[in-house]
Structure 1
Amino acid sequence: MKSTLLLPLALALVLATTALAQQAAPKPTPPRPGGIPADAAWHDVTTWGVEGRGWADQERKKWFDRLPAKAEGKVTAAVWGLSRDSAGMMVRFKTDAKAIYTRYTLTKTNLAMPHMPATGVSGLDLYARDTDGKWKWVQVTRPGSAKVETTLISDLAPGLREYAAYLPLYNGIESLAIGVPAGAQFEGLAPRAEKPIIFYGTSITHGACASRPGMVHTAILGRRFDRPVINVGFSGNGRMDAAVGDLLAEIDAAAYVIDCLPNMGPADVTAKCVPLVKQLRAARPNTPIVLVEDRRFTNDWITPGKKKFHDDNHAALRAAYDQLQKEGITKLSYIPGDHLYGDDTEGATDASHANDLGFMRQADVFEPVLRAAMK
């Protein structure tokens, strides 16, 4: 009888003890996204600035816009909309951290395009200088939503080094912070004072279809020259517009690269190239200006109509260049387009837009011309 009474009491005691243990146990702290420690130190990049953000002293609608607020209503609506993308911007910093985190919010929820991955459209692309001072790739984010909070890289080799993070090409940024573990040394590096190379162009200059932001030829050349660049590429809308020329003329550049032919026909080139060059030359008498023929579609060997279009476009730009030289315009250089993507038909994603190989080849063609122009 006693054992029969003790069994319910023992069971009740066990249940009560279990309940108390469950109540006393602390709730686990939910992990932060991307394996980021809760005490990570965050640094807002707007507090020290980004390169590739021209007209930096002028009012912006949004901090990461490429054009100043006054451009709205002066440039076309399409150009203004595309200027909200952060293409060409790059933030530098030094740290001895063993891991680097990032937290940013994108302006658009469309993170990728059918012919361009999210890493290029919306990714943050990290480089670092090695012990010889050479820029080398580190890692890129893989955005899955408009809000990104992730570990960019971990298990880094010890040492203080300089990093550069390229911002998204075909998306805009609302906010951006770099994070490091608590106690790590961190210094935001202000934009360099050297004159920038300005690239005015089309969707290709804008960055289509690089796999990541650091693989556009403008970024590649920025690393090779170790100099700031400003990307004024507007997808489908790089058309040698005078309103854009007015803005370009405000910046004391190392060189102006005019690469608009993919969005223009021969008649437009004839009508607009000479006035644009004269507009820039009047404002900046000593700044080198480089005219670039459009690349050839990589399948124009089998599409005669496209081949003729390129032939005619190239001839129109060459005629404008010859006219400018005859009129005494100096410090003017010229880049032919036939070999910009190479000669094996492998340099484009969709015949028109460069892949990473095509961008590297473009940089190889541009580099000697720019070096000679900027001597």
Structure 2
Amino acid sequence: MWIRIEPSASVAHFPGFVSDKRVLIYGTSITHGACASRPGMAYPNILSRMFPLEFVNLGFSGNAQGEPELTQIISEIPDPALLILDYEGNTPSTERLRETLPEFIRIFRSRYAEVPILVLSQIRLAKEAFDVHMFRQREERKQFQQETVERLRQSGDPHIHFFNGEELLGLEYGECTVDGIHPSDLGYKRMSEALKPLLENLLRPYLN
């Protein structure tokens, strides 16, 4: 097999990460990268090229619903630097999200008391322009997640954070998906760029 490279290019060993810590991202088919043109264009993988840390993509298409059994398994992954929760889109109802999110956080906190947790609400969907119920449901879930994070912060957990997912794709969110739901490469690029400043802050202890 022949590989063409520039004359000035060189091949070297991977220098390794700056830390043994890793970023865990738990979520849906959007996290998984279902409609990216190639694996490297899923937003967790784009982020992994922005930071010299290992990123673990725990995206489960259609199946991530915050089950406590899976939460326990995720809590056993060693050396997390950050946990991102992005599974809202797979929960069948707001009531289900109300049941699982606080318990997910509780289980993870029982193992890692100070590891940052970022709760990420769902992106805006193009179908919302024609489906008022879908819009109201997303707003309801977003409010619940935001209130949950604020309540926990007021209760003494300064390491939990919330990001409003409707800001991830920008004003032209309808141009950033392949089917009105799953991001295209453009959508994933915008998601990564929107999250980068916050992750730079949360991962700062491992980047200096």
Task: Give the aligned residue type for 1:355.
Answer: S
Equivalent residue for 1:325?
Answer: 153
1:191 is displaced (CA, Å) by 6.3
Matches within 5 A, 1:18-97: 36=1
Residue by residue over 1:89-148, the C-alpha shift from the partner in whole angstroms, topping out at 9 and shown as x without a partner, is xxxxxxxxxx3xxxxxxxxxxxxxxxxxxxxxxxxxxxxxxxxxxxxxxxxxxxxxxxxx
* Residue 181 of structure 2 is aligned to residue 352 of structure 1: yes
1:190 is displaced (CA, Å) by 8.7
Task: Give the aligned residue type for 1:297.
Answer: L
Equivalent residue for 1:373?
Answer: 202
CA distance in 2, matches of 1:320, 1:249: 20
The answer for unaligned runs of 5 or more in structure 2 is none
Equivalent residue for 1:316?
Answer: 144
CA distance in 2, matches of 1:299, 1:343: 15
Matches within 5 A, 1:128-207: 154-158=3-7, 159-162=9-12, 189=14, 192=17, 193-207=19-33
Name the structure where helix makes up a greater proportion of residues. 2
Q: Which of 232, 235, 238 pairs up with 2:58?
A: 232
Mapped contact 1:333–1:369 kept (Cα < 8 A): no
Equivalent residue for 2:117?
Answer: 289
CA distance in 2, matches of 1:298, 1:229: 29
Task: Give the aligned residue type for 1:294.
Answer: Q
RMSD: 1.7
1:299 is displaced (CA, Å) by 3.0
CA distance in 1, matches of 2:193, 2:119: 16
Name the structure where strand makes up a greater proportion of residues. 1
Task: Give the aligned residue type for 2:72.
Answer: D
Q: Which of 208, 220, 225 pairs up with 2:46?
A: 220
CA distance in 1, matches of 2:98, 2:160: 17
Q: Which of 255, 260, 278 pairs up with 2:87?
A: 260
Task: Give the aligned residue type for 2:148.
Answer: A
Equivalent residue for 1:243?
Answer: 69
CA distance in 1, matches of 2:104, 2:16: 28
- SS, match of residue 257 in structure 1: strand
Residue by residue over 1:249-271, the C-alpha shift from the partner in whole angstroms, topping out at 9 and shown as x without a partner, is 22211100010101113111211
Equivalent residue for 2:171?
Answer: 343
CA distance in 2, matches of 1:373, 1:266: 28
- SS, match of residue 300 in structure 1: helix
Residue by residue over 1:285-331, the C-alpha shift from the partner in whole angstroms, topping out at 9 and shown as x without a partner, is 22111000011212312321211111111122122212222322221
CA distance in 1, matches of 2:202, 2:48: 15
1:212 is displaced (CA, Å) by 0.7
Mapped contact 1:274–1:324 kept (Cα < 8 A): no
TM-score by length of 1: 0.51
CA distance in 1, matches of 2:194, 2:139: 19
